[in-house]
Structure 1
Amino acid sequence: MRLKAWMWPLATIAVALAALAVSLLVIDRWGEAAIARQQAAIAAAARDYFVAFAREEGVAPLIATLDRRERVGAPDGFRYALLDADGRLLAGADVVGSLNAPDAGWRTVAEPASSPRRFWRVLAQPLDGGLTLVVAEALSARDALRGAILQGSAIALTLTAVGAAIAGAGLHALMLSRTRGIARTAERIAGGDLSARAPERPGGDVFDDLAGSVNAMLTRIEELMTGMRTVTDSLAHDLRSPLTRLKGALARAAADETAPDDRAAAIDQAHREVDGALATLSALLDIARAESGLSRDMLQRVDAARLALEMGELFAPVLEDAGQGLRIDVPATPVIACLHETLLRQALGNLLHNAAIHAGPGARVVLSVEETEAGEVRIVVADTGPGVPADQLGRVQERFVRLEAARTRPGSGLGLALVAACAKLHCGRLVLEDNSPGLRAVLEAPLRG
C-alpha cells in the first residue's frame, strides 16, 4: 500500500475517534458497575439500620421514623416503606407501597401507571410480626448519575482526542516538511548534483541527526565518485603512453625488416611496458581492497619492530646505491599489534623506495618504530631530502598524483595512496610532516585492531 500525505492525519483522527468510543464504553460499563455496587451497599446499610432500629426501639418508633423521613425527603434516590402481612402500607412512601416488592431479597420492578415508565430496584427484608421493610432505589436517579459521569468523561476525552488530533496533524506537517527537504536533496543527487545536502541545524532534533548522517553519507559518496572519476581519468592518461609504446614495440618486433637484435630489444621493451601496466593495476587493486576493508580478515598479531627491521635491512642496499645513509631505530622488545603483514610490508617498502628516489644523494633516512601511551604504534620514515611543499602534503596521498610535472622518473603516483589505504585498513592514518629539511612520513595504527 502506498502511503499518501493525507493518510497520516486521517489515521490520527480515526484512531482518536476509536479510542474515544472505546474509552466511553469502558467508562460506561465500569461506571455502571461501580454505581450499582455503591447503591447496593447504601441500600443494604439502610436495611440493616432500620432492622436494628426496630429490634431496639420497636415497631411504633420505626413507623414514626419512616413517616418523618418521607416528609423531609432525601436527594439520594432512595425511598422507604413498611408493609403489613397483607402488603398494605403502614409507613413511608406511597410509591414504594404500590410496587410489586418481593417477599425477600432484590427485585427490579416497574412503577404502576407511570409515564414514561419508571423502574425501581427494590430490597425487601421480612421483620417480626409478618411485617416487611422495603428499601427502593429509583433507577432514574442512578441513570442521571451515570449520565453525568458519562457526559463529563465524554467532554474530557473529546478535548483530549481533539488535542491529540491537532498535535498529530502538527507533527505530521513537521515530519512532512523535514522529510520533503531530505527528499528534495535526494532528487538533486539523482539529477547529478553531488554537492546537494539535506538542511541541517546544529544541535537540532532527530531529523537534524538524520540529515547529518545523510550528509555524511553524501559527502563520502561524492568523495568516492570524484575519486572514481579521477582514477578513471588518470588511469586512462597513465596507461595510454605505455600501451602506445607497447604497440610500437610489438609493431617493430613484427616487422620483417627489423634486425634480430632490434627485434629482441623491442620485445624486451614490450615486456617492460606490460609489467609497468600490470604493476599499476595491481597497486590499484590493493588500494581498493584496503579502502573497502576486504583485507581486514587477514589482520593478525605481528611484531611491528621486527617487520620494520627486516624491511630496513632489505632496502639498505637500495638506499646505499642511491648515495644515502640509513639508520634503523626500533625497540629491542617486541611491539605487538594487529596488522596486515603483507600490505604493511608493501606500504613500508613504498615509503623507503620513495625516499631512495626523491631524497637525493647524500640524504639521511631514518626508519623508526614507536609505541605511544595512547595505545598506538607509529612507524616513521624520515629523510633529509628536498621534502614536499606544505600545500601539497595532503594532495600527494591521492592516487596518480605526482609532483614532477614532466614525469621523467618512473612511477605511477600510487605509492603514498597505497600507504594511506593501508593506514585506513588498520583504522589509523598516514601523516606527512616537514622534517626540516625533508619529509617525515608517519604511519599510525592502533595496537589492538
Structure 2
Amino acid sequence: MNRLVQIWRTSTVRLTATFVLIFAVFSVLLLAFITFQSSIQIQRQQAADIEREVRQIQNIDRVRGITEVVRAVERLSRLPGPGIYYLGDPTGMMIVGNVDDFPPLILQVPGGYSFNYARQRPFDGGGDAPQGTALVRSLVLDSGLLLVVGRDVVERRGFTAIIFQGFLWGVVGIIVAAIFAGVFTSIRVLKRIDAINSTSSQIMSGNLSERVPVTRRNDEFDALATSLNAMLDRIEGLMQGLKEVTDNVAHDLKTPLTRMRNKAEAALRSGGEPETQREALETTIAESDKLIRTFNALLMIARAEAGAPSGAFADVDVSAIVADVAELYGPLAEDEGMVIEAAVTPGIVLRGNRELIGQALVNLVENALKYGMPPEGRPGRIIVGLRPENGRVLLTVSDNGPGIPEDDRERVIERFVRLERSRTDAGSGLGLSLVAAVARLHRGSFRIEDNGPGVRAVMDLPQTETRPAQA
C-alpha cells in the first residue's frame, strides 16, 4: 500500500494519469458525437425516403390517373421492409395499403405524425400482424384521394441501439487502453528515473566511477544522462586531481619542512651561538619562501581550474603582453648567456584574463631559461611567438636546448612532476601545470612539441578578433 502511495505521489504518474483522463474524456465525447450524428442521419434518411416516395406518387397521380396510383401503392404495400402505405377515398375508406388503423387526425389534417400501429396480416394470410411505431406523412392528392406514406422506426431504433452499444464498448475499450498505456508509460519513465537515482546513491556512497546508463533511444533521458555523466567525469577528475595534489603536497613538502625543523633544532643545540642561529633563520626564511611560492602556484592552478569569476574576462591585447614579457626577460637571458627573440603578430586580442595569461607566459619563459641552454657551449636562443592560425591563436615559447623525451612530454604537465635532470634545480614542478590550467580556462589546450633541437611549448587558444596594427 505504501509503495502505491509513493508511486502516486510521483509527478510522472500524476501527469500520466492527467493525460489519460483528458484523452479518455475527449475520446468519449468524440464517440458520443459520432453516435448522435449517426442516429440523426438515419432519421433524416428515413424522412428523405418518405418525401421521395410521396413526390413519386403525386407525379403518378397527375400524369397517369387514379388507376395507376392504386397499382403503385398496392405494389409498394406488398414489398417487405419498413415501408407503411395507405390510400383511401375522400371519405377515408381504405382502397389499398398495408396499414388500415390510423388515428383520425392523420386522415383529417395532412402533415407529419408519429404513432403506434398494427400492420395488416401478410397477403398470403399466414403469420401475425407486426406491431410497431411509425413515422408518417399524410396528404390529399390532386385526384382527391388520401395518401399516407411512412416508415417503421423500430428498425431504426434497433440500429441506433446497436450504435450505442458499440459506443459503450468503445468507451470501455478506450478507458482500458488508456489506463494500460498510462501504466506502461509510467513504468518506463520511472525505471529511467530509478536508474538515475540508483547511480546517484552509489556515487554518494563513494563510488565515483559509477555512471548513469545511456540507451540507444537518443531521447531526452539519454541527453540528460550524457550531461550528468560528463559532469560526473569532471567531478571525478577534480577529485582525483585533489587526491594527487594532496599526496604530492604531503610528499614534496615533507622534505623542506624537515630541513627547517632540523636547522631550528641544530640552532637550539649549538648553545646560542649568534652565527649558527642567524644561519638557521636565513635557511628557515628561504625554505618558507619556497613553500609560499608552492602554495601560491597551487592556489593559482585551483583558481584557473575552478573557472574565472564573473567579470574576470575582458578583451586582452595578447600581442602587447608577449612583447612586454620578451622585453622584460631580455636582460636576464643575456646574463644567462642566452638570447630572447620575439616573433609577434601585432593587434591580436583575446577574451580572457590578463593576469593568468601573463603568468602562464612567464612560466614558459622561465622554464626555457632554466632548461633551454644547449650543451657543448652553443649559444642559447629562445623565441617567444604569437600568431593566428585557422581561427586559433598559437602562443609559443621555443628553445634550442636538450629537449624533453617524447614519453615525458605529457607527464611533465602534471603537478609536482620533475624530470631527473631538473631535480637539483629550484622549483616545485607546478609551472607547466599552471600553463595547462590557464589554457583550459580559456577553452584552449597546451602541448609540448619537438623543436629539433629543443622544446616548443604551445598554448592553442580560440581567437576573438584581430585589430589593425597601429602605426
Per the normalisation by structure 2, the TM-score is: 0.76
**Counterpart in 1 of 2:202?**
188
Q: CA deviation at 1:405?
A: 9.2
The 1:235–1:78 alpha-carbon spacing in structure 2 relative to 1, beyond 3 Å, is: farther
* Matched positions, count: 443
**Counterpart in 2 of 1:80?**
85
**Counterpart in 2 of 1:216?**
230
Q: CA deviation at 1:140?
A: 2.0
- Find the partner of 1:367 among 384, 390, 395: 384
Partners of 1:347 and 1:422 within 8 A in 2 = yes
- Deviation digits for residues 111-164 of structure 1, max 9, x if unmatched? 479999843333344545775543323222222333444566677787787777
Alignment of 1:45 with 2:55, yes or no, is: no
CA distance in 2, matches of 1:115, 1:223: 95
Q: CA deviation at 1:264?
A: 5.7
- Find the partner of 2:39 among 19, 28, 32: 32
Partners of 1:99 and 1:111 within 8 A in 2 = no
Pick which of 123-132 and 391-400 moved more: 123-132
Partners of 1:302 and 1:336 within 8 A in 2 = yes
**One-letter amino acid matched to 2:353:** H
**One-letter amino acid matched to 1:380:** T
Alignment of 1:290 with 2:304, yes or no, is: yes
**Counterpart in 1 of 2:97?**
92
The 1:431–1:51 alpha-carbon spacing in structure 2 relative to 1, beyond 3 Å, is: farther
CA distance in 1, matches of 2:200, 2:93: 90
Alignment of 1:109 with 2:115, yes or no, is: yes
Q: How does 1:10-409 map to 2 (within 5 A)?
A: 21-74=28-81, 77-82=82-87, 89-94=94-99, 97=102, 101=106, 103-111=109-117, 118-128=132-142, 132-150=146-164, 181-200=195-214, 205-206=218-219, 210-242=224-256, 258=272, 269-295=283-309, 297-331=311-345, 333-360=346-373, 362-372=379-389, 374-404=390-420, 407-409=423-425
- Deviation digits for residues 230-257 of structure 1, max 9, x if unmatched? 2233334444555566667788999996
The 1:63–1:257 alpha-carbon spacing in structure 2 relative to 1, beyond 3 Å, is: farther
Q: CA deviation at 1:35?
A: 2.6
Alignment of 1:2 with 2:6, yes or no, is: yes
CA distance in 1, matches of 2:421, 2:201: 40
Q: CA deviation at 1:259?
A: 5.6
Partners of 1:89 and 1:97 within 8 A in 2 = no
Pick which of 183-192 and 136-145 moved more: 183-192
Unaligned runs of 5+ in 2: 120-127, 466-471
**One-letter amino acid matched to 2:115:** V
CA distance in 2, matches of 1:81, 1:166: 57
Partners of 2:101 and 2:118 within 8 A in 1 = no
Identity of aligned residues (%): 34
Unaligned runs of 5+ in 1: none
CA distance in 2, matches of 1:253, 1:48: 135
Q: CA deviation at 1:428?
A: 1.1
**One-letter amino acid matched to 2:158:** A
Where 1:400 maps in the other structure, the secondary structure is coil
- Deviation digits for residues 83-115 of structure 1, max 9, x if unmatched? 566655444330673596493544443347999
The 1:261–1:71 alpha-carbon spacing in structure 2 relative to 1, beyond 3 Å, is: same
**Counterpart in 1 of 2:468?**
none
- Deviation digits for residues 193-241 of structure 1, max 9, x if unmatched? 222334446x654355554444333322221211122223333444455
**One-letter amino acid matched to 1:418:** L
Where 1:441 maps in the other structure, the secondary structure is strand
- Find the partner of 2:460 among 432, 444, 447: 444
Where 1:186 maps in the other structure, the secondary structure is helix
Q: CA deviation at 1:320?
A: 2.6
Partners of 1:296 and 1:340 within 8 A in 2 = no
Partners of 1:80 and 1:135 within 8 A in 2 = yes
CA distance in 2, matches of 1:153, 1:83: 43
Q: CA deviation at 1:446?
A: 1.2
Where 1:391 maps in the other structure, the secondary structure is helix
**Counterpart in 1 of 2:441?**
425
**One-letter amino acid matched to 1:216:** A
Where 1:110 maps in the other structure, the secondary structure is strand
Pick which of 335-344 and 96-105 moved more: 96-105
The 1:44–1:400 alpha-carbon spacing in structure 2 relative to 1, beyond 3 Å, is: farther
The 1:322–1:19 alpha-carbon spacing in structure 2 relative to 1, beyond 3 Å, is: same
Partners of 2:118 and 2:129 within 8 A in 1 = no
Q: CA deviation at 1:353?
A: 1.1
CA distance in 2, matches of 1:246, 1:115: 127
Pick which of 96-105 and 363-372 moved more: 96-105
Where 1:2 maps in the other structure, the secondary structure is helix
Where 2:432 maps in the other structure, the secondary structure is helix
The 1:155–1:394 alpha-carbon spacing in structure 2 relative to 1, beyond 3 Å, is: farther
Alpha carbon RMSD of aligned pairs, Å? 4.2
CA distance in 2, matches of 1:169, 1:338: 52
CA distance in 2, matches of 1:265, 1:109: 130
Where 1:410 maps in the other structure, the secondary structure is coil
Pick which of 415-424 and 336-345 moved more: 336-345
Per the normalisation by structure 1, the TM-score is: 0.80
Q: CA deviation at 1:369?
A: 1.2
The 1:140–1:277 alpha-carbon spacing in structure 2 relative to 1, beyond 3 Å, is: farther
Q: CA deviation at 1:344?
A: 0.7
Where 2:340 maps in the other structure, the secondary structure is strand
CA distance in 2, matches of 1:425, 1:90: 107
CA distance in 1, matches of 2:452, 2:104: 116
